[in-house]
Amino acid sequence: MRSPKDFFRPLAVGAPAPVREVPFRPSRMIHFFDPGNEKMAAKVPAIAPTVDVLLGNLEDAVAADRKEAARAGLVRTAKETDFGDTQLWTRVNSLDSPWALDDLITLVTEIGDKLDVIMVPKVEGAQDIHYVDRLLAQLEAKAGVTRPILVHAILETATGVANVEQIAGASPRMQGISLGPADLAASRRMKTTRVGGGHPGYLVREDPHADEVAPRATFQQDLWHYTIARMVDACAAHGILPYYGPFGDIKDTTACEDQFRNAFLLGCVGAWSLHPVQIDIAKRVFSPAPADVAWARKVIAAMGDGTGAVMIDGKMQDDATYKQCQVVASLADALAARDPELRDAYAAAEKETPA
C-alpha cells in the first residue's frame, strides 16, 4: 500500500504533479464518436461547440479490424481540431485486450497535451487503476506533458461494483466513474438485452382488491437504482464525479430523458450521448431548472451565514437545506459560465422570483 504521504507524488520522474482536487468542469454529456468512421469524425468540429465533452471511442462498437484506424483517426482529429473549451476524452480498449497498451502509448505521446481524461473500461479493482496510473506518468514524462491526464473508470463488471470504493480512491488521477449497464448486465447474468433503461418484467404489483376482480396496477422499477446509488456514494466519498452512462434505445427519447433525470436527481453530473439526438436531452436534464436555481438562491439569501432555521413559503429551511441549495446554485454558476443561454434563463427566473 502507498503511504498517504506519497499519494500526491508523481509516479515517474518528470511527470506532472497529480491534482489535489478534481476540477469541476461541466460534463453534462460525454458525446461518443467513432474516430475511424470518417463520416462521423467529419462532424466533430461542428459538434464540439454544442457539447461539454467529446469522446473518441476506441473500445466496444469499434470492430476488431478497425481498432488501428480508430486510434489513428483520433490522433488526426485531435491534431486538426480546435476544441475551444470543450474537453477531449477517449475510451481506450480494456486492459485485457491486445490494443490497450498501444492505445495508451500512442495517444499520450501524440496528443497527450490535448487529452483531458482517459476512460478505462471494465475496471475490476484498484490494481487496474494503479497499472494505468504508473504507465500514464511514464508516458507523460516521456512526452513532456505538463498537466496530468485524468482517469475515468467504467463500472461494468460485478467485481468492479464490489470494489467500487477502492476504485474511486485508487489514484489522485481518478476523475469519475460511469455506469456501463450492458456489460454489467452480462457480467451479473441479468436477463436483459438492452443498453440501460428499465424492463417491463421488473415490477411490483399492487395488492389484490377486495372484489378480487379489479385489475391490479403494476409499477415498473428501476433496475439500476442500487448500482447508481452505490456509485454516487463511492464517488462523493472520494471527491470524484459520477455519470449515468449510455442509453441504447436511441429512438425512445422519452425513456432516455427519464433515465438521465433519475441519475441527475440521485447525484450524477452527466450521461453519455451516443447519437446527436441525445445531446440536448442531456443538456436539459443535467442543467438545474431555472425555477429550482432561483429557489436555491432565495434560500441562500434568506439563510445569511447558513445557520439557524427560517420559514420560506411555508417550508422550513435550515443548515442542511442551505447546503442542498448551495449544490444547486454552484452547479448553476459553473454551467452558466459556459452556457450563455442558461445564464440568461437563470437571471430571468431570479428576477421573477419574489424575495
Interface ranges with ligand CQM (CB under 6 A) = 32-34, 39-40, 43, 47, 57, 60-61, 154, 156, 180-183, 195, 245-246, 250, 274-276
Longest dimension (CA), the chain: 77
Cell of 319: 443548515
- 310-330 in b/e burial notation, b at 16+ Cβ within 10 A? eeeeeeebeeebbeebbebbe
Which of ligand CQM, Mg ion, none is residue 251 near (CB under 5 to 8 Å by kind)?
none
Q: Which residue has the cell 485524468?
A: 150
Cβ neighbours of residue 96 closer than 8 Å, sequence gap 6 or more: 122
Q: For the CB of residue 119, give the shortest distance to ligand CQM in the complex, in Å.
A: 9
DSSP-assigned letter for residue 151: E
11 vs 153 by CB, closer to ligand CQM: 153
Helical packing angle, 100-111 and 67-80, nearest 10°: 10
Kindly state the cell numbers that stand for 246: 449510455
Which option in Mg ion, ligand CQM, none does residue 32 bind, with CB closer than 5 to 8 A by kind?
ligand CQM
Q: Which does 75 bind (CB under 5 to 8 A by kind): Mg ion, ligand CQM, none?
A: none
3-state SS, residue 56:
strand
Q: Which does 110 bind (CB under 5 to 8 A by kind): ligand CQM, Mg ion, none?
A: none
Interface residue with Mg ion, options 52, 103, 133, 183 (CB under 5 A): 183
Rounded distance, CA 253 to CA 166, Å? Answer: 35
DSSP H or E segment with residue 53: strand 53-57
Of 40 and 186, the one with the shorter C-beta distance to Mg ion is 186
Residue numbers 13-32 binding Mg ion by CB under 5 A: none
The one among 180, 196, 245, 288 contacting Mg ion by CB under 5 A: 180
Minimum CB distance to Mg ion smaller for 106 or for 178:
178
Q: Which is nearer to ligand CQM, 39 or 189 (CB)?
A: 39
Instruction: Identify which of residues 46 and 355 has a Cβ nearer to ligand CQM in the complex.
Output: 46
Tell whether residue 116 is a contact of Mg ion (CB under 5 A): no
Q: Using CB positions, name the residue nearest to Mg ion.
A: 183
Give the residue with the Cβ less far from ligand CQM, 57 or 90. 57
Residues 264, 21: contact at Cβ < 8 Å? no
* Smallest separation (angstroms) from ligand CQM to the CB of 72: 18
Residue 103 lies near Mg ion (rule: CB under 5 A):
no
CB of 105 to ligand CQM, least distance (A): 23
Radius of gyration for the alpha carbons in the chain, expressed in angstroms and rounded: 22
Part of the chain binding Mg ion (CB under 5 A), chosen from 39-47, 175-183, 263-271, 297-305: 175-183
Instruction: Identify the helix (H) or strand (E) that includes residue 153.
Output: strand 150-155
| Least distance CB 154 / ligand CQM (angstroms) | 6
Query: Nearest 5°: CA angle at 152, between 150 and 154?
Result: 165
Asked if residues 345 and 290 have their Cβ atoms less than 8 Å apart, the reply is yes
Q: Point out which residues bind Mg ion (CB under 5 A).
A: 156, 180, 183
